[in-house]
Structure 1
Amino acid sequence: MTYRTVKQFADAATPEELFAGQWQNRPSVLDDYKPYVDDRWSEGCINAWKLWEEIVPLGYKGSYQRVRAYLHDKRTSAQPVTARPPSPRTVAGWILRRPETLTETKQLQLKAVRVHCSELDALTGHVRFFATVLTRHRGECLPVWRDAVRRDDLPSRHTLTAGIDRDRDAIIAGLTLPWSSGVVDGYVNRIKMLKRQMFGRAGFAL
């Protein structure tokens, strides 16, 4: 028995406190759908059966009893019961992926994150706009994107736009013209790799 466990038993004022936290963090098949349930709850829908019927078409494979138990906890708990927030890495993955590749559940979760965080909402819009400029060779739209970023309170993005301004013409050309230096960069990378493999002995003399 660890010191932390002993201290938990010693500090507990009631038997119920000994069980707090034992099962709350276990993954549940309902976890991905809790943000949707929470939103519907805040809209006034408190019927467990109706909510279960709504999340089944979204991909929920669990039982009605699990939804009912979650709503029971929301009704009876002294503290607000809501879904655990997704990790920053998970949210970043949702933002960087093409919107059409996200499942409906993931889209709902990202929507909930954007509603509760105006900075992430703005960032998502900027990332997706830039992705369009990048993948569709719309370099002429880069100044529009830069001005939109500067209007928002996102200091890290302001640093990026300042760097873009230093090579503005070259970057716009790279995002517009069909040519690419990728092949040349690939050969340079291959040469560097061979040099590293030979511990620097692959010089011009050799």
Structure 2
Amino acid sequence: MWEEIVPLGYQGSYQRVRACFREKRLSPGPVTARPPSPRVVAGWILRRPETLTETDHLRLKAVLVHCPELDALTGHVRSFGQTLTERQGERLPQWLDAVIAGLTLPWNSGVVEGNVNRIKMLKRQMFGRAGFQLLRKRALLS
């Protein structure tokens, strides 16, 4: 770095640049909380909101702010849960319409699931025999 900045006009010593980088390298980085796992978030969504602790409620709210699709899903899950627990059978036709649409419309994730299944099968065949490069080659050639 020193060799790069001297032609640009830096007049300090090599040791000063070295000390600056050493200080940066050894200083503790910003402490950030690890994001919750998908399993934990699913647990928060599936539980009744009143049973969540204040901390879990705030963490779920933070996740939902960053993902509008997950926020919409949470609304649907809780609505369906309320239909089941409060025995609101009159709301069932709305849900059946959604199920019928899901079963009859042409959009699905079958192709993606098929590829995932094929790659997992290849991985099981090669278990313990090779690394990522061979798996990649087999996946691309099959």
Under a length normalisation based on structure 1, what TM-score does the superposition of the two structures give?
0.33
Q: Which has the higher contact order (CA 8 A, sep 6+)?
A: 1
- Per residue, is there more helix in 1 or in 2? 2
